[in-house]
Chains A and B, each alone.
Chain A
Amino acid sequence: MFDKSYDTHSRFKEHIRPNPWDLIALIIIIAILVTFSWAALQMAQPYNIGQQIPISLLPTKLPGYALRTVLRMILALALSLLFTFTIGTLAAKSKRAENIIIPSIDVLQAIPVLSFLSITVVGFISLFPGSLLGPECASIFAIFTAQAWNMTFGFYQSLKTIPNDLIEVARMYHLSAWQKFWRIEVPHATPSLLWNMMMSMSASWFFVVASEAISVANQDIRLPGVGSYIKLAIDQQNFQAVCFAIICMLIVIILYDQLFFRPFLYWSEKFQEKKDGDEKGTKSWFIFIIQKTRLLIYSSYLFSIITTKLLNISILNKPLFPKTNFKFPIKSSWLWMLFTSSMVFGSLYILTMFIITSLPIDEVGKVCKLGLYTATRVFVLIIISSIIWVPVGVWIGKRPKLAYKLQPFIQFLASFPANLLFPLVVLGIVKYKLNVEIWTTPLMILGSQWYILFNVIAGTLEIPKELHYATDNLGLKGLSWWTKFMLPGIFPFYITGAITAAGGAWNASIVAELVSWGSTTLEASGLGAYIAKFTVVGDFQRIALGTSVMCAYVLLLNKICWQPLYKIAKDRMQPL
């Protein structure tokens, strides 16, 4: 059974004749390449400010739109990866960089996508005058801001947890920093990175409308894509088109999951130790086809040659800095402290002056009050969705086979853009004369409640089988079964899920507190609506104020609520 497949070279020579599977794989790969290059060409078309790009609601136009949307997302994902690899590595390697990068990521994570877009869109447009590339770049940048932070943070954490003996191996066998990065650090981080990339893709679908139909800073640009399609459908109250968009999205999400994430998951599971033997691994039909082809043998041979060449490029394997015995004197660390703190206070001062000089002082109080409303919404939503999803998650988690089948489905739900449900909500509120303040709220948690469900399922799966048997044996039932066994058991996972869900809800408030269907626009009082409203007109002082207050709220709540809970979960509740 142990065929000598390491010898890909000679095997390649023996079996050079292609087989039918080659044809299938070749067709798929060429099709992917051709379609993406077509979409890329569309990006650089001439465009002038004010010009309207016609968007059509014809369902036949949807595949093209979907392609362009996906291309933007993939480009943003590539950017995010680059950012992750450089900034995440820097944070893990240098104590000083870490002190700046990690808090910055915390802050950046709390800034809504729309705020990024409103600040950068004008700059990007003037960067490429007369070309669609400007708005395209702005859009890609907006998607990037929805993707990058959790990936970077996850990568940084992975690098910090590389087992010490693997690092010693790298030193003993003289791996260069470049080789160490690709041979040890990236593979070690791959499982968590993949998971974070999938979450990031979900997040970018959630903001697909905001990032394509750019209506910020008095701009009204609609880039061809699924997001603009949805926006137009909502404006024209075309319910049928909304349904088409949903179907299209579903297909696209399934496609990239199958063609992109599954193969990687399949690869990463090949070397991960499994905790339970009975669970089935990831299946990938794409890998199956690829494995059937002789093409694989050729391409893997080629791939390994290229990667090895890349790994061993001599210039990259030179030490970055010549080895010296020079050490920073202690005094310079004081200088560094002085430098960073003056930077922080300086920018704080500039920001305050920017806001204060043009806004009345009671505006600050008003915005803080709006923040309180949004905070209350987030809090209530977390409680309600916990009450719903914890029992459901436990129920599913106790059935591993079912959990495995449901996994991709829940992933799809997590990426479902809230905007698509706006019609239903607006119609419902108008028809039954419901309270806007209360009934727009559920839209905030729409995307992120699934993280609670997801983590509760994972937590239940993680509880050792023996504990289940023991509690059955003791006859533990009802309330005590929950309080003494299940809830403490899943607590660490639940907390992780709740933190993610709360963060997502804050971010989603900017699309959920201000909703429209055709000419009907409903506004709930809250910080999200405040930011959304002023991004449209481009009131930068108010955007800055709203964004700062939102950041402050998110960071404060993290500090006083989530972090202590997380610490308890980590210290005391971890299963033995």
Chain B
Amino acid sequence: MSTKLLQAKNISKTFKSYDPNQSLILDNVNLDLNDGEIVAILGKSGSGKSTFLRILAGLTSPTSGEVLYRSTIVTEPVKGIGMVFQHFALMPWLTVLQNVELGLEALGVPREERRTRAINAIDTIGMDGFESAFPKELSGGMRQRVGFARALVVNPDILIMDEPFSALDVLTAENLKTDLLDLWKNNKTKTSGMLLVTHNIEEAAMLANRILIFSSNPGKVAASVNVKLPYPRNNQSKDFLELVDLIYTLITTTQKSKDPSIIKTQKYGIGYRLPDVSTDEIMGLIETLYSDFANKETVDLPELADHLAMDLDDLLPITEALEILSFAEVSFGDIKLSDIGKKFFSADLLDRKGLFAKQLVANLPLASEIRRVLDEKRNHQASEERFLSKLEHYLSEKESERVLRTVIDWGRYAEIFAYDYNTGTLSLENPD
């Protein structure tokens, strides 16, 4: 009985279109959105889930594969798909009413009808009374309500949402989610299916009928979970907690490649997308694991996230950094400090730096490569450009810069090399 609203068939995307072997962002992703379904795409940042969403919306084109909307190929934004943006994307110079009317105006809806429909949409989303306000007068939650009203007023067949709640505080997000589910369940919208991208596990578990878990490097669907829990879902119920735990386990096990030979040879090769984590965060997590969970050998990740009041997207990069440096092991939704991690905790400041340096050079080819080049050169200096261009074989320009910045931060902390921001030079000298 269920018709397929939106289909993605074998979607792949590379950032350099002329060499498909290099730097895949999305690898052969498939997705079906059926009538009456809410699908959540769950993954950490950098997993290409936002790129995938933009391909579905027709905003970017895939390198290979195709998107079908009710069996017609999508090559540009189609009428019938509405979108809600992470940072609201409201026009600051238009009032709430004008913002909501924008899409109708583009469709050529007559003025009077436009006004009526926009006012109705604003009422539905609970923003009655704010029609003449400019976005800057509104709080984040209210702005996103306007974002929803703007998307819903054109009666979209499918509603696509790009991390719609992630820029909001917890309470506001909670409130908005409940309202959205109410609208959906009571058929107050003409929408037949919804698709949202999120990095928040609870959010996905709360809203979706089906959760697709994305893994990174390259982004692909690692697992799919059907959720049968009835709405409204209680996030303290046993079933719900079990679901969350299952998702955590799936995420932490699927992060690693299943092929053991690859793990051995080039676990974190030059082109590895290092997580954007500071040394302070690494040390902070080690200290938390050691002190706050002293009586436990392994710690449940959902419990840890709860303890630190952190999102998946905030916590997983740090646990990944700990893994890269062999300070901890992560598997099946659990984390465990290694002996090196414990040793790191009890060392003093200088010894910590030494230990960090040792782990960094041993585990991260990029760091050892930089150190090797600097050691070999007569003046012990090298330009960052050299390493950037090397990284750009694997990663986009922006991503290369980010990865190099992280390595430089870690290397500077470990004092295995120095860096001069003004000239962009790496060296073995200590800065003045």
Contacts and interface: CB of A to CB of B under 8 A. Distances in A.
B83 to A, nearest CB: 5
A271 B79 contact: no
A188 B94 CA distance: 11
A113 to B, nearest CB: 34
Contacts of B82: 172
A190 interface: yes
Nearest to A317: B108
A326 to B, nearest CB: 14
Contact of B94 (A4, A183, A272, A273): A183
A334 interface: no
Contacts of A172: 57, 59, 77, 81-83
B132 A187 contact: no
Interface stretch (A163-171, A473-481, A548-556): A163-171
Contacts of A173: 102-103, 106, 150, 154
Given A173-B103, A270-B134, A6 B97 contact: yes
Contact of B85 (A3, A5, A169, A273): A169
Interface stretch (A17-25, A174-182, A344-352): A174-182
A183 B95 contact: no
B218 interface: no
Given A174-B77, A183-B102, A308 B132 contact: no
B59 A171 contact: yes
Interface in B50-94: 54, 57, 59, 76-77, 79, 81-83, 85-87, 89, 91-94
A171 B89 contact: no
A168 B131 contact: no
Interface residues of B, number: 40
A165 B92 contact: no
A271 B106 contact: no
Given A6-B132, A183-B102, A270-B134, A312 B108 contact: yes
Contacts of B97: 6
A175 B95 contact: no
Contacts, number: 89
Most B CB within 10 A of own CB, among A163, A190, A270:
A270
Most B CB within 10 A of own CB, among A4, A163, A165, A169:
A169
A169 B93 contact: no
Interface string B116-155: 0001000000000111111110000000000000100010
A273 B106 CA distance: 27
A168 B103 CA distance: 12
Nearest to B97: A6
A155 to B, nearest CB: 16
Contacts of A6: 95, 97, 115, 119, 131-132
Given A187-B91, A308-B105, A168 B129 contact: no
A106 B104 CA distance: 41
Interface string A145-167: 00000000000000000010110
Nearest to A323: B76
B92 A271 contact: yes
Contact of B89 (A169, A270, A317): A169
Nearest to B78: A174
A188 B85 contact: no
Nearest to A1: B129
Contacts of B362: none
B93 A188 contact: yes
Nearest to A166: B89
Contact of B105 (A163, A169, A179, A272): A179
B110 to A, nearest CB: 9
B422 interface: yes
B107 interface: yes
B91 A572 contact: no
B421 to A, nearest CB: 8
A166 B91 contact: yes
Given A174-B77, A312-B108, A4 B132 contact: yes
A168 B154 contact: no
Interface string A267-298: 01011110000000000000000000000000
A119 interface: no
A194 interface: no
Contacts of B185: none
Contacts of B103: 173-174
Contacts of A308: 105, 111
Contacts of B86: 165
Given A171-B76, A172-B83, A183-B91, 12 more contacts: A2-B132, A3-B132, A6-B115, A165-B87, A168-B89, A173-B150, A174-B79, A183-B94, A183-B102, A271-B134, A308-B111, A572-B421
Interface of A: 2-6, 163, 165-166, 168-169, 171-176, 179, 183-184, 187-188, 190, 268, 270-273, 305, 308, 311-312, 314, 317, 572
25 contacts: A2-B130, A4-B132, A6-B132, A163-B89, A165-B87, A166-B89, A168-B59, A171-B76, A172-B57, A172-B59, A172-B77, A172-B81, A173-B102, A174-B77, A174-B106, A175-B106, A179-B105, A179-B106, A183-B94, A187-B93, A187-B94, A308-B111, A311-B105, A312-B108, A572-B421
Q: Top 5 nearest A-B pairs by Cβ distance?
A: A173-B103, A187-B93, A165-B89, A6-B131, A271-B92
